[in-house]
Every structure is written in C-alpha cells, then in structure tokens.
Amino acid sequence: MKAVQMRMQGVTKRGVAEKLGIHDVGRLKVWVRQYKINGAERLQDRRGGGKKPVERDGYHQ
C-alpha cells in the first residue's frame, strides 16, 4: 500500500522501488492498476493464507 500511495503522489516507479527495496519495478504498475480498480482490499497479501495442511493416512504433512 505504501508503494501505491507514493506512486499516486507522483514518485517515480524507480524512486519507489529504491526507497522500499522493491526489485520488480514493473510490479508497481500492476499494484496501482489493481488499487484503482478494486481499492485497497485487492492489495492484501494473500500468499499462503487460509490453506490447511492436507491430511493423508491420518498424518498432517
């Protein structure tokens, strides 16, 4: 969200990336587009969230 806010305030993609340590500068464009279309909710980090371990033969892996 911080990166999107900086871009919306006119900071360049490169400037945001350097300030926040983002290696994929092109990703900022995607985040800004998602924010404009769907708001802040779309920017939530959903990696690994909500997944439950698969149970096999009575054991969790």
Q: What is the pLDDT of residue 44?
A: 67
**CA separation for the pair 35, 43 (Å, rounded):** 7
Task: Please identify which residue in the block is written with the tokens 């892996």.
Answer: 61
Secondary structure in 3-state letters for 1-46? CHHHHHHHCCCCHHHHHHHHCCCCHHHHHHHHHHHHHHCHHHHCCC
The answer for residues whose C-beta is within 8 angstroms of residue 2's C-beta and 6 or more apart is 20
Mean pLDDT of the 56-61 span: 58
- Residues 10-47 pLDDT 10s: 999 999 999 999 999 989 999 999 999 888 776 666 66
The pTM of this model reads 0.64
Q: What is the pLDDT of residue 6?
A: 95
